[in-house]
Amino acid sequence: MAHEATDLLTEPKEALAPSASSEPVDQPRPSPRGRIEGGVDALVLGATFDGLAAAALLGKAGLKTILLGGEEAEPSIREFAPGYRCVDGEHLVGALDPELVSALDLYRHGLAYAARRLDTVYFFSDGAALLTDGDIYRLRESVAAMSEADAAAFAAFAERALDAAQILRGVFEGGDMSDLPAALADGMRRALHDSLEEVLDDTFTDERLKAMLAAEGSFRSAARPGDPFTFVSLVRRWAGEAAGLQGAFAYPEGGALGVHKAARRAAEAGRVDFRLAAAVKSVLVEWDGVAGVETEDGGQIRAPIVVCALDARRAFSGLIGANALDIEFQAGLIAPAPQIASVRVNFALAGGLPEGRAKPHLARRLFYAPSRLELRRAYNAAREGWREGEPAAPLIMEVVFPSALEAGLAPANGPEQGHVASALLHPAPYRLEADESFARAVERAARATFEKIAPGVSARIRAVDIRLPPEPAAPPVLAAWARARHVAAASGVRGLFFCGPEAQVGPGIQGAAARRAAQAAIRYHRGRG
Amino acid sequence: MKQRRQFDLVIVGADAPGLAAAACAARRRADIELRVAVVRTGDEPSHGASAPGVPDFVWRQLDLHRTALQARPVEALVSVFEDGRMLATSRNGQRMKQILDEACGGIHNLYTDFSAEMRRLWNRADEIMHGEAARPFGGALLAALASEDSTALALSMTQDCEALLDDYFSDEAFKTHLTSVALMPFGLGGDEPGSALALAAANAPAAWRLRAGDREPSLVKVLEDVCKAASVAIIDGAVRDIEAPDDKTRHVILSDGEALRTPIVMASRAMSEIAARLGAASAASTPMGRREGACAEARVKLARPADPPGGSTAAIFYAAGSIDALQAARDAALVGRLPDDPPIYFEFVRDEIHVRAPYCPAVFYTDDQPRDWSEQDRQALGRQLARRLSKLLNGAAHDVRRVDVKVFVRSPAKSARGPGVLIVPPACHDEIGAAARLAMDLVHGA
């Protein structure tokens, strides 16, 4: 089929009409408007971070690569209240693939961190607070200060969990794991299918310590801490890396926009051809391999490799079509519709946080850890879709202050500097079409939780910006892991590589799936000679 | 201190799984005589109701064909709905086809596919759970995830029940029926990850329960005789505590102060009172067992024998309402509330109905403060159960003479006693098989 394509390019247009057609040749047929383009090594679909990163890697390896856009929006900076500006998208980086960063030299392309290791302050339902070092390996010192009884247990627990995190890290990134079971300690094997609550109950007595770890483990996850397989969510969280530090959070300059721009510049440096306006109609599959794509204007771009960064439903059901796929592959391909989501809320503050029990340092990550009962009620309410008056209890909330880390995001407000607080609230119900009453409920919950973190802060809030629709929560780690392997491995179509959201395990900007897909594509390209 | 007897293995719970496990362990080694004891705590399920199925290897190990045991399977598993609709699972293929044709419009082929797939899934999961002695489920799950050909299997095993059923059926009532049968014994919700495994486990060959006729010896009676013949000691007495003076010694303290000394203590069932009160993390726990919650067991005494729906006394009846109601009940229990319409399953035993309400909270909350079950809570639940039964059984409530409610609380927070103090078999429908395999593994190296 490949030689036919090149023939078509050189022959006149009339040759496109099938010779065996029953239609008279002299009747004018609507000729395809678009043109057929060849000489391309690889196509990347979807200008997400993963799409950009994959294209950049392919370009850098010397493949002639075209990046075709989908409907995804680039993160942007916008003014949500007079003088107050926020960046949409992730406000922290906690699991950015270090191999991708070095392979693309993202620091040279403008990736920079305004804060490399944010300390976290946990706030509890009883009003207590705990300041912890941003270095996860020093967490035990903070815990010892809070709970003497659990200090020894926590040290042992943290050691095992961090070991497991390091061993499993490659696996979370989509790596091979045939050697793993032997390398894992027996206790950790058991922990794979245990719920977070069970493990915490077995290990600790301090309710605040349990609340803190349960909240960290279930933050942005669709699974409740009492569900099986949730302990490994905490391991996933601790396996992430930011700015060279395991388990830490970093604030990139420009937020998500900064990370996105760096990937974009890396792709430009790799001479990737950007066609963000071209809408793709379908992926061409000939015999058992990809042959390129067909665009909405009727044209074709032919290439033996297609890397897909779109979601699995759009990629496999929409663009490729069931006929080209293995039956086995289709089962379990599409993840069930999300029920649980997280919502981003930006607050415009007239000044810093009110002076309270905790000294209001803004260059930190503030985190509200609900009590067990509060968290269960929050999940129940979210699963039921927030009936009238819900959610009644506070939710998990992560707050950072971009205005304290970067200049120019908030105005001076008299003698005091104004601030932007960027919060992520979890769990909320997932709604594609969110209405006014939903936004009001989010605002109510966000304000109530913010009050728990900083009593009296309500008086300083000038404006609230709620980002809708909410972001779907990450599916439970083990299921996501199984699906990621399934989706990335076995489509049965040669030359097709997948790095959409289903190929990722856990939330946040990661890029590991893109690296895996691009590396596989490059190997495939070289193998074809 | 009273005298202290010494055993090689003590099994707590003289129910069918406990007795079968004890007899299997005692007969495991031909070279040495093992001293095995079973403690009859008084919390065993009552006679007359159904007993778990007996897997083939136990049948052979205990030579049950030489006993008077009649392996009479329960006739059907029946779901009853408040609008009067009924759905059933039957072991008889012809009968099952007839039921599906009448009630669900010819989905028999789909059901056949579904059962075959569930059996396949269970065989793999069973290997994973029991393949090697006390091999942790997690490690084997990892191995399953690691091998290239089993990603679909790993996906099914971590999936929830509702998602798996959606792949096969569209009839809500039939999905509710299958979910009830699979999940209710464990008090699980259909939305919980891993609950798909229970769906597969319900299709295991020995998952089908047995029930003896009025004049036949019950399974427990037969197993007691087998135990006596194998010199297993059956000791009466409630267990007050289990002490672990060192790594290799356990003292089972009975309520009269007697201590049984043994290296290994095992619970007969994963979902029993003793496992709930004293059970620590078992080596082979599965996503189905060891969860926070409580199961209430009620014996409803009637003035005269009631007419069961459909006329079959030897069936097990499930009343869930819907899949969502099961999940809602689970959610309510987790935040310390009794569900409005508690999902129940029940059996008819002479002039009594034995009801189980597995979706009860482990603790209640008043003003966000936890409190334990009180006598009032039990009575309120008893009234609620009687009302629910009378709705389902067309006014049987007029005949209710007495309701006795017992509540078994499973609370992970209270049961943390370090691994290995009390070993609990994995939770699954084939309770005898799970207990017998575990007991034989435990004495293997003795």
One DSSP character per residue, B69-127 reads ----B-SEEEEE-TTS-EEEEESSHHHHHHHHHHHHSS-HHHHHHHHHHHHHHHHHHHH
State residue B197's pLDDT score.
86
Measured in angstroms, the CA of B186 and the nearest CA of chain A are apart by: 13
Distance CA(B162)–CA(B182), nearest Å, equals 12
The answer to whether the CB atoms of B141 and A228 lie below 8 A apart is no
Interface of A with B in 487-506 (CB under 8 A): 489-490
What residue of B is the nearest CA neighbor of A479? B158
Measured in angstroms, the CA of B158 and the nearest CA of chain A are apart by: 6
Tell me, yes or no, if A30 comes closer than 8 A to chain B by beta carbon: no
Residues from chain B that touch A198, judged by Cβ atoms under 8 A, are: 281, 290, 412
**From the list B136, B194, B416, which residue is nearest A229 (CB)?**
B194
Fold that domain B4-71+211-286+413-444 belongs to in CATH: FAD/NAD(P)-binding domain (3.50.50)
| A68: β partners | A45, A275
B13-24 average pLDDT score: 94
Strands (E) located in B269-384? 293-302, 316-319, 344-349, 352-360, 364-366, 369-371
**Block means of pLDDT (10 residues each) for chain A, length 529 residues?**
41 42 49 77 94 97 91 80 90 91 94 91 93 89 89 89 83 68 56 79 89 95 87 89 88 92 95 89 90 90 94 86 77 76 95 71 93 94 88 92 91 85 95 86 95 92 92 86 77 87 90 94 90
**Chain B interface disruption, residue of A160, A190, A193, A204, most B CBs within 10 A:** A193
Tell me, yes or no, if B234 comes closer than 8 A to chain A by beta carbon: no
**From the list A195, A328, A482, which residue is nearest B154 (CB)?**
A482
Cβ distance B211 to B313 under 8 Å? Answer: no
Distance CA(B428)–CA(B389), nearest Å, equals 27
pLDDT band, very low/low/confident/very high, at B49 (cuts 50, 70, 90): confident
Which of B68-82, B83-97, B142-156 is the least confident region?
A: B142-156
What domains sit in chain A, N to C, each tagged with a CATH number? 2-74+258-335+477-528 (3.50.50.60), 137-246 (no CATH), 339-472 (no CATH)
Per residue in B385-441, pLDDT tens? 988 888 888 766 677 888 899 888 876 655 445 556 788 887 888 899 989 988 888
Distance CA(B416)–CA(B422), nearest Å, equals 11
Tell me, yes or no, if A330 comes closer than 8 A to chain B by beta carbon: no
Tell me, yes or no, if A193 comes closer than 8 A to chain B by beta carbon: yes
- Alpha carbon dihedral B333, B334, B337, B338, in 10-degree steps, equals 0
Six token digits for residue A195 = 């719920």
| B11: β partners | B38, B266
State residue B135's pLDDT score.
44
Tell me, yes or no, if A485 comes closer than 8 A to chain B by beta carbon: yes
Per residue in B134-154, pLDDT tens? 444 455 566 666 665 566 667
State residue B124's pLDDT score.
77
Distance CA(A193)–CA(B290), nearest Å, equals 12
Interface of B with A in 378-417 (CB under 8 A): 412-413, 416
State residue A14's pLDDT score.
43
What number of residues does chain A have?
529
The ipTM is 0.86
Tell me, yes or no, if A380 comes closer than 8 A to chain B by beta carbon: yes
Tell me, yes or no, if B167 comes closer than 8 A to chain A by beta carbon: yes
Tell me, yes or no, if B110 comes closer than 8 A to chain A by beta carbon: no
Measured in angstroms, the CA of A376 and the nearest CA of chain B are apart by: 6
Distance CA(B2)–CA(A50), nearest Å, equals 71
In chain B, where are the structural domains located?
A: 4-71+211-286+413-444, 110-203, 293-410
The answer to whether the CB atoms of A228 and B194 lie below 8 A apart is yes
How many beta carbons lie within 10 A of that of residue B257, not counting itself? 10
The answer to whether the CB atoms of A490 and B290 lie below 8 A apart is no
Measured in angstroms, the CA of A166 and the nearest CA of chain B are apart by: 16
The answer to whether the CB atoms of A184 and B292 lie below 8 A apart is no
Q: Which residues neighbour A11 within 8 Å (Cβ) at sequence distance 6 or greater? A: none
What residue of A is the nearest CA neighbor of B367? A373
Distance CA(B243)–CA(B251), nearest Å, equals 5
State residue A13's pLDDT score.
42
- Alpha carbon dihedral A71, A75, A81, A85, in 10-degree steps, equals -170
Please choose, from the candidates B216, B205, B199, B197, the residue with its C-alpha nearest in 3D space to the C-alpha of residue B155.
B197
Q: Which residues neighbour A440 within 8 Å (Cβ) at sequence distance 6 or greater? A: none
**From the list B138, B152, B192, which residue is nearest A227 (CB)?**
B192
What residue of B is the nearest CA neighbor of A482? B155
Six token digits for residue A194 = 């245990």
What is the number of CB-based contacts under 8 A between chain A and chain B? 126
Measured in angstroms, the CA of B161 and the nearest CA of chain A are apart by: 12
Tell the residue number behind the tokens 């006729």, with chain if given: B213
Q: Which residues neighbour A7 within 8 Å (Cβ) at sequence distance 6 or greater? A: none
CA B392 vs CA A228, B385, B388: distances in Å: 34, 11, 6
Distance CA(B261)–CA(B249), nearest Å, equals 7
| A302: β partners | A292
pTM over 0.90: no
For the cut 70, the answer to whether the pLDDT of residue B250 exceeds it is yes
Please choose, from the candidates B278, B231, B270, the residue with its C-alpha nearest in 3D space to the C-alpha of residue B253.
B278
State residue B155's pLDDT score.
73
